[in-house]
Each structure stands twice: as structure tokens, then as C-alpha cells.
Amino acid sequence: MDFEIPRIPLAEMCDAALDWATEHFSGVTRAISAVIGTGIEATTDFLVDLPPWLVILAFGLLVWRLTTARIALFTMLGFAFLWNLELWRATLQSLVLVLVSTLFALMIGIPIGIAAALSRRFWRVVGPGLDMMQTMPSFVYLIPAIPFFGLGAVSACFATIVFAMPPTIRLTALGIMQTPPELVEAADSFGSSRWQKLFKLQLPLAIPTIMAGINQTIMLALSMVVIAAMIGAGGLGGEVWKAIQRLEAGQGFQAGIAIVVLAVILDRITQHIARRMRTDRGAG
Amino acid sequence: MTEKRPRIRVRGLTKIFGDDAGKALPLLQGGLGREAIFKQTGAVVGLHDVSFDIAEGEILVVMGLSGSGKSTCLRCINRLVEPTAGSVLLDDTDLTKLSESELMAVRRTRFGMVFQQFALFPHRTILRNVEYGLEVQGVAPTLRRERAMAALETVGLKGWEAHLPSQLSGGMQQRAGLARALALEPDVLLMDEAFSALDPLIRRDMQQELVALQKRLKKTIVFVSHDLDEAIALGGRIVLMKDGAVVQQGYASDFLANPADDYVRRFVEHIDVLGVVTAGAAMRAPACVVPWHVPAAEALVRLEQSGDPAATVVCQDGLFQGTVDAGVLRGAGATEIRLLASDRDACVSDTATLNDAVSRLAAGRGEIAVIGAGRELRGVISNTDLVAALARRRGEPMH
């Protein structure tokens, strides 16, 4: 009765898959990394080189246009506070990373969400995949990112995209699938093609739901960008990381509070836009 | 009603819901009942062998209680629900045989559909809603705007085009729904309980307006309803459904006069008889017809012999001229009755409902004539006849 059940070599299998992928694709990914990395760096440097008060004012005006004066004022005060804490550069680094990651997450996530809504079979494949992406501890994504994209901002960006994309996919699919059936039937009765139905009815009605997904994606992106400091992404997360290594509780809390402020600003802005879209349409 | 070419012919339409529809179909065709099929295969029979014609320019009301299959039947016509068996012919095209893209083309140009819960697109203004079908067809923006505005004017919604559906009352939303269907200038309007969600008063207005609109536009309309009064108000033929099958089809008055079974009898029990039964159906042969030139004294004798209650009908060449009653005739001696005859209006058309007869009877002498289109005498209705017609409806035998 001495059965030896061999351990399933899961780790080895993952390694083998990763090695294979690295061997075949790392050339491409390194090239992508170089382009995106340069882009992120250039954008950050450009913003850092501008006088902070000008950047704050510009943000304020932009937010005012998109939302309300109150939220714009809050945004400007928040950024001024971060400037005052001498975390200006780190804030901008984090912000650019969040925005770039979110942009990619949306560019990939929304089409996947649409496809998942239109094809039940695809949804059955995507659904568990999303669950896995979200349950996997976020640090794990950092490890394979390095061989593909090298240390730094692009790896952080990659891990962030993987981690932050699921809500966008999920809520895009959900928003489309939740189109009231009687409206779909009406569109059908007028002889709409599948694409006409999608672009004239389902997507416009799903926009408030998709916006809610975007809001979640941005918040997840921010949390991941902080963690990504471990692989050299810098930013506010980098400040926290430094504080941990030097056991400087004060510095750590200061950077932590800065992250909270940035999170609240981003949340208020996207929440407001989502809510306005919902009421504009007079429909849930 | 004159016979017109059928625009739509529905033949043997059958719909079975469920994964085992293929297995259930031969069972159904073999004569097995709905319940037995459900027990055996889990499939639900939605429609079973439904056939009817819809003439061009006709309003056909498909009626039944909820679950009778009437909405399924309507949706099988434009294949929003895919029929399991049977055919739907629009003019000479069998819609059940069309490919996906051909079906789309037919839906775009030939059918306009109106829904119970309006189903307006909440993110589009009323104008953009009405434009929708034309937009899908690919009609140029200026032209489709023009046609949408015309449709909005037809339903009396001019001035509301920039509003969102949620800003309109239910009745107005359904007008927009109707305009959306009309804007396509379709041959056939499919209306699924179109007025059921509206308040009773607004519902009645909409019914009347639809009838008026129909007279003008001459669309072929299939109207699904659970409301017998609505079916009567729309005035067309009725297909009465129960458990997915047709129980009886014809005019409301046919349902009253010759109910196919107890179900139909119960269905029409609370019908407004006066609004359905025509004078032609309730009349009897006149007992006392007196020509124009007869002297009053002779007319009086004839009237008394006939036993007719109050009036006598005066006739020339078979055309109705008026009535006189015994009181007038008495003491008039040798005067020709044409000089005494009055009440040229104491008559109703044989196609008019008893509602019209009632008011004439109330104003007259207890009896009115029933006339054809050229005023030719067809029969008479007296107060007693009217009461008898009502009594017959209560289920008490006449004789």
C-alpha cells in the first residue's frame, strides 16, 4: 500500500510555457517595450518639465469641462497638496502609468467584451478566464512581465493591463447582454443587421454600464501601479517601496496618503461621468 | 364586405418550443394532445395548425387570453419566432422559406410592428426613433427626416420630435411607436397588444384613430388583442385562439349568432350586444307594408289585421318612404296615405348596429324599418324585437 502519487509538475509546466514564449516572442515584446517605454517616459518628462501650477490648472480646466466645478476644484486642491508634499514627480509617473494602462485595457477589453456578448460560446471561454485573472495574486503577473518587457514602466504597464482589464470586459459584455429583450425584438422587427443592432442600440444603451467598468479598471490600475513599484515602475508606489526598505513609517504613510488622494480624484471624475451618462439617457 | 385578394395567407402554422421540437412535431401531427406531448418530450406546443387569410386593407384581430398563442402567431408572421411547421405567404412569397438576408429585406420594407410596451429606444429622440427603420434601410438623412416628420404628423405628434421617449405619456409614446412603423410605409402593420398598456380612455381614442387612419392609408393590419371590446371597436374580422389553435374566425356578430363551442359562448358572454349585432341580423319581415296610394281607411284595416304593434310601413316601388301609425290613420278616411306618411327617418341601414336602432326606436313609434343601401325595404325592428334580440344573447332561447 505504498502508493507514491507523483506531484504534478505545474510550476515546471508554467516555466516551460513561459520559456517557450520568451524564446519566440521576446524580440517582439522587447521592441514594443522600447516604443511604449519611450512614450511613457517622454510623456512623464514633458509633464514634469512644465511648471506644476500650469499642469494643475490645465487638469482643473479639463476636469471642469468633463464634470462640475466642485470636482474640478477638488482635483486642483488635491494635486496642489501632492505638489506641496514634494511628491509631484512620483504622482505624475503614477498618473501616466495608470492612464496608459487603462487606455490599453480599454482598447483590448471593450472588443473582447463585445465579442463575448455576441457569442455565447466565446463568453463561456472568457468568463472563467476573467475569474482567474482577477483571483490570481497580482504580484504573480510581475514575474513573467520582466523577461518579456524588462524591468521598469512597461512591465508594470503589462501587469496592470492584465490585472485591470477584467471589469471592462465583464461590464461591456453585461451591458450589451442586458439590453431589454423587447428593444432587441423591435430592432429585429425592422430588419436590423447584427452590426446595426450593436451600434445603434446595444452599445449606446450599454455605455453607462461600460463606464462603470472603466471606473473599476482605473481603480484597479492604480492599485496595481503601486504594487508594480517592486519591479521598478517608480511613482508613488516607488516611494512606499523605498519607505518599506528603509523602515520609514512617516514617509510610507505620506506616500500612502498621496495614493489615496489620487485614487479619490480619479474615482470622483469617472463616477461623475458614468452617473451623468445614466441620467442623460433617462434609462438604466 | 367585398372579397379581396388575400395579402397574407397563413397555412398550418405550428410552433413547438423546446429542444425536442423535432421529436414532438410528428407526435402532434399524429394527434397527440398538448399535455401528453409535454409529458413525453418536455416540448411546449405554442401553435397548432393555425390557418387564416388576411385580405389587403383589412384589420384582422387575433384574439385570445394570455397563453393562447396569439402573440406567438403574430411573431411567426415576420419570423421573430421561427415557426416549426407551416407556411406564411405574403402575396406569393413564402416567408418561412426565405434566407436570413431575404427575411431582413422583407422586414425592412414590408412590415411595420407596434409593441405592447412601446419598445421605443430610450437613448434616441422621438424623431430618431421614428427614423430608425429608414436608417436601417439606408435611406438618405434628409429624405428619412422628411418621411419621419410626415409620419409624426399623421399620428399627431408634431412638435414632440426633439423629446426623449421618457418625457412622453404612454399614449404619446405609443403614437410614436405607431409613427415608427408607419414611417416605413409598410404594406402590413403588425400590432401586438398595441393599446393594452394604455388607460381605458386613451385606449378608446387610439382605437378610433387607428380605424380612421386605416380608412385613409388602407394598410393591412394584424392586431393582437385579448380584449373583445377592442376587437369590436376595430371592426374587423376576428380569429379567436385557445391553447394555440383557432377556435373560430369571423365577425363578432357571427360569434354571437353561431358560437362554435362553449368557450366561444363564454368569451362573448359579456359582449356589448347592441354594438355588435346589426339591424339586418335582428330584423324580421314586415307584417304590414302598404303601398303609397292606398287610402287611410284601408291601411288602417290592414294594420289592425297584421297585429303589428304601432306603425305601418309605406312603400313605393319597394323603396321605404315613411311610416304612419293607427292614431293618424283613424279618421283620415279616404286620404291617400302618402299625404299622411311621416318619419322618413324612422329607419336604419341593415349594416348599422343595434345601437343606432335603439336611438331611432326611442324617437319613433315603436317600430322602424331596416333598409338597404338604396333605401329598399329589407325588414322591420320593433321594440319587442329588440328586447328579444337582447334576451337571445342572455342565453335564453327565443322560441
| Spatial distance between the Cα atoms of B172 and B165, rounded to a whole number of angstroms | 9
Strand partners, B250: B238
Residue B380 has pLDDT above 90, yes or no: no
User: Which pLDDT tens digit goes with each residue over B166-199?
Assistant: 999 988 999 999 999 999 999 999 999 999 988 8
Overall pTM surpassing 0.80 (yes/no): no
Predicted confidence band at B132 (pLDDT cuts at 50, 70, 90)?
Answer: very high
Is the Cβ pair B113, A201 closer than 8 Å?
no
Question: Does B396 score more than 60 pLDDT?
Answer: no
Query: Tell me, what's the pLDDT at B366?
Result: 75
Find the helix or strand (DSSP H, E) in which B245 lies: strand B245-250
pLDDT digits (tens, 9 = 90+) for A11-39: 889 889 888 888 888 888 888 888 888 88
Give the full edge-to-edge strand order of the sheet including B245-250. B111-114, B188-192, B220-225, B59-63, B237-242, B245-250
Please give the Cα distance from A97 to A36 (Å, whole number): 11
Predicted local confidence at residue B4, as pLDDT: 65
Q: What span, in angstroms and rounded, lies between the C-alpha atoms of A236 and B148?
A: 56
B162 at the A interface (CB within 8 A)? no
Residue B3: per-residue pLDDT: 54
pLDDT at A84 (0 to 100): 92
The domain locations on chain A are 14-49+85-281
In tens, the pLDDT along B214-271 reads: 888 888 999 999 888 888 888 889 999 998 899 999 988 888 878 888 888 888 877 7
- Each residue's pLDDT tens digit, B367-378: 888 888 888 888
Confidence of residue A213 (pLDDT cuts 50, 70, 90): very high
ipTM: 0.76
Residues A22, A170: Cα–Cα separation, whole Å: 29
A14-49+85-281 CATH:
1.10.3720.10
- The beta-carbon neighbor of B136 closest among A182, A192, A281 is A192
Taking 90 as the threshold, does the pLDDT of residue A218 lie above it? Answer: yes
Searching chain A, which residue's CA lies closest to the CA of residue B75? A189
pLDDT at A145: 81
Q: Phi/psi at B54 (nearest 5 deg)?
A: -125, 120
Residue B364 has pLDDT above 80, yes or no: no
Q: Do A189 and B106 touch (CB under 8 A)?
A: no
pLDDT > 70 in chain A, percent: 97
Query: What fold characterizes domain B280-393?
Result: CBS-domain (3.10.580)
Q: Which of A30-34, B166-170, B273-277, B279-283 has the lowest mean pLDDT?
A: B273-277
pLDDT tens profile B196-222? 988 888 888 899 989 988 888 888 999
Mean pLDDT across B315-327: 77
Contact A191 B133 (CB under 8 A): yes
Task: Give the pLDDT confidence score for residue B363 in this predicted structure.
Answer: 76
Q: Can you give the three-state secondary structure of A171-234, one letter per residue?
A: HHHHHHHCCCHHHHHHHHHCCCCHHHHHHHHHHHHHHHHHHHHHHHHHHHHHHHHHHHHHHCCC
Among A189, A281, A283, beta carbon nearest to B113: A189
Q: Please check the confidence at residue B149 and state whether its pLDDT lies above 90.
A: yes
Q: Domain residue spans in chain B?
A: 280-393
Return the pLDDT at A282: 45
pLDDT above 70 for B331: yes
Neighboring chain B residues of A190 at a CB cutoff of 8 Å = 107-108, 113, 132-133, 136, 184
**How far B167 CA lies from chain A's nearest CA (Å)?**
9
Query: Under a CB-based contact definition with an 8 Å cutoff, are residues B297 and B324 in contact?
Result: no
**Over 90: is that where the pLDDT of B385 sits?**
no
- B394 pLDDT more than 70: no
- Counting residues of chain B whose pLDDT is more than 90, the rounded percentage is 36
Average pLDDT over residues A182-192: 94
pLDDT band at residue B393 using 50, 70 and 90 as cut-offs: low
